[in-house]
Amino acid sequence: MTMGDCLRTNKLIILRGNSGSGKTTIAKELQQVFGNNTMLISQDVIRRDMLKVKDGENTKALPLLEELLRYGRKHSEIVILEGILNAEWYRALFELAVALYGKNIYAYYFDIPFEETVKRHKTKPNCNDFSAEDMQRWWNEKDYTSVLYETRITADQDRESIVRDICQKHNIQWKNNCFGQGMIFVLPEKYDKIETEINFCKPVGGKGFRKEQTHEISNFHWKSGFYIHQKE
């Protein structure tokens, strides 16, 4: 690793948990929020779709996952690594992550009850790819790793709150039509854009939106489906 690499502040977000816990959905949404130069490494895509190899100790997917982490460290501002990523089988991957990213790792473990993961799986397009019995066979209760400090995500946290909380750790506010400190993301359907200004609107009892604040459009830039404003 060069001195230039050491000075970079690239970040790694790790999302782990059992099948059906919601980590893949969150990972994809985070990639959209963070936008360009955000790399998403999905364990299932690498292991199952690209390589067609089995999971387990010394899986053949591990060397490629390690190489992708190295690539992301050099070329991407943010890397998102998501998957079941068994704590014992992928310990070497987590140790490599620490060596590459140091303290710039934000790890999350989806600690979701088995019954809830089955319920969520049934709502997915690939729900027929495997059964609840398969999920039970793969189940690994509270598979936290000692290599990483992992923030616990529970079943009572919805998708939006999880994304918002992770964004706030990166100084990005996930608030529609709400001005606070740092970055502000505004959903396209919640504003009216005219030639030089953006009118930020607030829902009014199912009867449309009421104008709240107006700002010069030059203070904003478009990124991944959102207008973003940097507060002074």
Domain boundary among 128, 153, 170: 170
Average pLDDT value for residue range 66-95: 97
Domain boundary among 121, 147, 170: 170
pTM (global) more than 0.75: no
Q: Give the DSSP letter of residue 60.
A: T
Structural domain including 205 reads 175-230
pLDDT tens digit sequence for 131-165: 788 888 889 999 999 999 999 999 999 988 899 88
Counted domains in the chain: 2
Report whether 188 contacts 177 (CB < 8 A): no
Same domain, 91 and 142: yes
Same domain, 77 and 127: yes
pLDDT tens digit sequence for 157-213: 998 889 988 887 776 544 333 333 333 444 444 444 444 444 444 444 444 434 445
> What's the pLDDT at 138?
85
Query: How far is the C-alpha of 58 from the C-alpha of 117, rounded, in Å?
Result: 27
Same domain, 166 and 181: no
pLDDT tens digit sequence for 13-57: 999 999 889 999 999 999 988 888 999 999 999 999 999 999 999
Same domain, 153 and 214: no
Residue 41's CATH number: 3.40.50.300
Q: Are strands 191-193 and 183-186 parallel, antiparallel or unpaired?
A: unpaired
